[in-house]
Structure 1
Amino acid sequence: MRQRIVLPVRGRISRLALLAAFSAGILLAGFPEDDGFVRAQSRESAEYEVKAAFLYNFAKFVEWPADAFQNEKAPIALCVFLADPFGNALDDVIRGKTINKRELAARRVSDLRDLRACQLVFVSDKEGKHLPEMLNALKGASALVVGETDQFAERGGGIQFYMEDNKVRFSANVDALQRARLTVSSKLLALARIVHEKNHRKED
């Protein structure tokens, strides 16, 4: 897939870790859609293990402005808003890892006011209806907002997961990414389906 939009690009980055996470979507192919309740549970568990790996790799290929953190030692907070479909998967993926000398922290958030302390926010399909309130709470903040609801990216989210050929794929809303002042690697955008917001919503 060719890159169609160019945002500011970070320095040289290894592609191997990114491809490892994105190719992990193959895991889902092992779980037939109609193979019973246990299979369905296993498939969902595998799906969110893959998505947890995606979130970690998104953080590796996105750079936040300095004022997105309280100080130089503050961690990169990967937050899950309300319902948490990951179990321990997200915690396991980021345990012991750092990005640009910052530790990673997995947090569960239930109050909109706490979202501004997050660098990445994931909202599940179950909670996607809260996107307008989330975007309002994050107005002016540099947060990467990731979801999995239909039209999530076109409605103002930064990145949206979707399923294609039984694999996890993602769309990137370049309008939202630019508005949040996020520096995104061209390597990441090259693997995304690029979308724009309906009506090209702008910050007031």
Structure 2
Amino acid sequence: MDFERRFHFSKCFLNPPETGPLLAVPNVSGKDYAVFNHSARNAAAGKWGLHHMELRPWIGRRAKTARDSLQPLPKPGWIRRYAMTGALLAALWPPLAEAETETDRAGRIKASFVLNIARFVSWPKEAPEQQVTPLLLCLYRSNPFGEAIRTIEGKIVNGRPLQIGLIRSLAQSDSCRILLVGPDEMRHFSEESRQAPNRPLLTIADLTDTDLPSPHRPALITLVRNAARIGFEINLAKARRTGLRMSSNLLKLAKIVGDGT
């Protein structure tokens, strides 16, 4: 029998994705807490099915062994991208806890967003003595998440444990690396930030329950609600002026506003 010199196994994947992954957090007052499409779940779990394989039988008179004949091909780039996005989605969504009030649950979900967003941000390199100190997350004038903010204290961000403090004005924020601004403090923050110089301070505002037009949102990142879902906006132009670097995978999940649109 005359064999072809080269055989290829056709691509075989289980449930190939038809759409991109969703970043969706339904209204925390409901019973369902997260909606991810099938492709994002599979990517996070590593369930993409069979690898590409290539069969190389005998060439000329010299036969290769079965082990040499079967060569795995590299995974296509889209698989790596979906897997990375799925992992990011899984990181952004916190595990559920029992016996929580709706307010506690909302605060814990948003605190987890803050933590995991920060993990995809890079600050300019600091002096060696500062690199071993905790990374300071400052609450601007008040605590918008209540006791839920304590669920992320001590978590690791950029290799450093997260420490939480309270400041009364931007003049006290020199040691802060992350600044969390609640809806009640937005007016004060807007006034102060107009006079503040650009520096690598990751400002995150919670506007999930407040309707404030995008041009008047002074923070670099804003948590927002779209119908029943929570997402976030990034003012990329402002972020670049501060010297902060944001992962491209984080940017894919955000709505880009400002000059970066």
TM-fit CA distance, 1:107: 1.2
Are the equivalent residues in 2 in contact too, given 1:116–1:141 (CA < 8 A)? Answer: no
Give the 3 Å change call, closer, same or farther, for CA 133–61 of structure 1 in structure 2.
Answer: same
CA–CA distance in structure 1, aligned partners of residues 215 and 173 of structure 2: 18
CA–CA distance in structure 2, aligned partners of residues 72 and 110 of structure 1: 25
**Residue of structure 2 in register with 1:175 after alignment:** 237
Q: Which runs of 5+ in 2 are unaligned?
A: 1-19, 22-80
TM-fit CA distance, 1:177: 0.7
**Residue of structure 2 in register with 1:79 after alignment:** 138
> SS state of the match for residue 66, structure 1?
coil
TM-fit CA distance, 1:15: 5.1
Give the 3 Å change call, closer, same or farther, for CA 86–148 of structure 1 in structure 2.
Answer: closer
Cα deviation, 1:59-115, whole Å, max 9, x if unaligned, reads 1000000249972212211111112122222222233x2233212111111233112
> SS state of the match for residue 116, structure 1?
coil
**Residue of structure 1 in register with 2:213 after alignment:** 151
Aligned length: 174
Query: How many percent identity over aligned positions?
Result: 28
Deviates more, 1:59-68 or 1:149-158: 149-158
Give the 3 Å change call, closer, same or farther, for CA 67–24 of structure 1 in structure 2.
Answer: closer
**Residue of structure 2 in register with 1:89 after alignment:** 148
Aligned with 2:179 (options 98, 107, 121): 121
> SS state of the match for residue 121, structure 1?
strand
**Residue of structure 2 in register with 1:107 after alignment:** 165
**Residue of structure 2 in register with 1:47 after alignment:** 106
Superposed CA RMSD: 3.2
Q: Which runs of 5+ in 1 are unaligned?
A: 3-11, 28-40
> Which has the larger share of helix?
1
Radius of gyration: which is bigger? 2
**Residue of structure 2 in register with 1:20 after alignment:** 90
1:194 aligns with 2:256: yes
Q: Which has the higher contact order (CA 8 A, sep 6+)?
A: 1
1:160-171 counterparts in 2 under 5 A? 160-171=222-233
